[in-house]
Structure 1
Amino acid sequence: MNRRHKVVVLLVDPVVGFDAAIAPTLFGAAEADGGPLYEVVTCGATGDPVPSTNGFAIVPQAGPEALDDADTVIIPGTRNTAVRREGRLDDEVGAAVARIPAGARVVSICTGAFVLAAAGLLDGRVATTHWRYADDLRALHTAVHVDENVLFVDDGDVLTSAGLAAGIDLCLHIIRRDHGGQVANAVARFCVVPPWREGGQAQFIETPLPRDDSASTAATRGWACAHLQEPLTIEQLARHAGMSTRTFIRRFREETGQPPGVWMRNRRLDRARELLEGHDLSVDEVARQSGLGSGANLRHHLRRGLGMSPSSYRKAFADREFDG
């Protein structure tokens, strides 16, 4: 029997309590065929309880030895003085980070990016962190290309998320990357969070709450999701919302952080991935039902977004069920 993918969450003193709970909760909820897909372990730089920034301490399951055979290492946010103010790892944290296997995937949530940067793991890479602390990260580590305008950055073997709840978005993205949309969506349902966040990759959007129901594009977005297979135009969406095209585009972007065309394309890709995973349909039929038009168009967008063809995506993620 193959060993489950081991996710080790390294808690750096003092850890941000909210961040520390994200990875164990989400990866712990990922199941297929009634069984867990990940082994999730929390550890500290020592075996002692790890103080949090929220008035409680966390007793990790293991000491730093848990990192020795980790497949994925996740570092939640921290207010560790050496890391956050001096841009360096103290002896205990440095020794723990040094135990991470060379081939492991390394992930940070929020200000956990400061730990990765201090270890040199972000040099020459694009990375993100909480928007409030982006300038601090940029000043301490000039070799890191900091982008505070996204929810997360996937740079292959190193991934970083923005602040706090953006860690949820990143963990769902990783689960989706590992096991497909059905598993990730089931985890999102279990955790009562959206499988994708309104606003795409933006850390924040201009007007998260519309002034009143008549000013919102929410009903039209719901209607569009039910009619993805139709060749909807922006003018049609605006008419459904009872707005001029210009007003509709402005309010749509205020509420979602994306122009209508980009939002529609992403929803159609989401639908195409669901159909590839759960149905034995031809590529052309998947494209038709998702509103992407042609198999060639579907292939283009999947390769551009995921680096995979429809057939390779189906082979990787089809026929995986979540029991929850």
Structure 2
Amino acid sequence: MPAAASTSAHSCAWPRLAALRIAVSITPYDDLVSDPIQGGDDVATSHGRGDVAARMLSERADDWQKEWTMAMVIRTKDEIPDDAYRTMVLTLMDKQAGREVATAEVFGQCVLHAPTVEDKIRITRFQAEELKHFQLIGRLMRDLGVDMDAYVQNRQKAGARFTGDEADMQIRDWIDATMFNFVIDRAATFQLGEYTKGSYLPLADANRIILKEEEGHKSFGEVCLEEMCRDPATRAEIQRRFAKWFVASMRIFGRAGTPGNAYCLRVGLKTRDSGDVAAAYLDSIRPVMAACGLRFPARAELPLDLPPQVDLDVPVGVVS
């Protein structure tokens, strides 16, 4: 059952939001079209009035939308306004929780191929952190009625949680382990950055904690990749495998421009469409790609419909 909106002083100002809805749909246009427009004949004046009214109405609507989104701050599960919001929050948490467990499971494969004891210890620590992150999200899901014991037992295996195919996440050697760390774990972490600014504060607060620990994972993947790419033969092999890992990473962001994206933006659960987040993710790894002498796959080579804002160019770098 959906939780009722809180009436405490700390709850969302829902009557205010209702007033905003009425204002957007009724008040502004009547005010705008009554403004005197000077110059031109009757037809031109009428047309000019309409253009000005439409422009001003659009600007006011944008301001009201921003104010409405800012007002959507849900501090506890008891303030969740309706089933639609609750369902979307659970959808976002379900995807995140599944990937936290999946990452821990894949890190278990990575430990087998770590070249030094120090690397094995580091990867084992990453694995423990991913499971702790799962527990953080799991507590929020349990608060919303999800049986987390059954959730853990009934989930698909790690690879399927990322791409739908368990075979995609098979770690055969340290190159695969490094690619997973650098591309997949980093993409999943980048996606979580959106939730730290979201309107559901329990999820935002949990992800602020998670992101602090994920920084170490990102740095380790970069260092390992840069070291391996100093060897031309290893770099060529990494480039050969890159498309597989790249495709899996881009699927983490989902499709751009969907109704789900629009809803999340409207209620403040996200601040950017999935296409914009994916584009920013590529911007974040582009300098590392250039430094390693690697390139992104060509758009035509990919089994994905990438949004137009995704830039696959990499400047020519000098491999140290």
**TM-score bracket for the superposition, by shorter chain length:** under 0.3
Q: Who wins on radius of gyration, i.e. which is larger?
A: 2
TM-score, with structure 2 as normaliser: 0.26
TM-score, with structure 1 as normaliser: 0.26
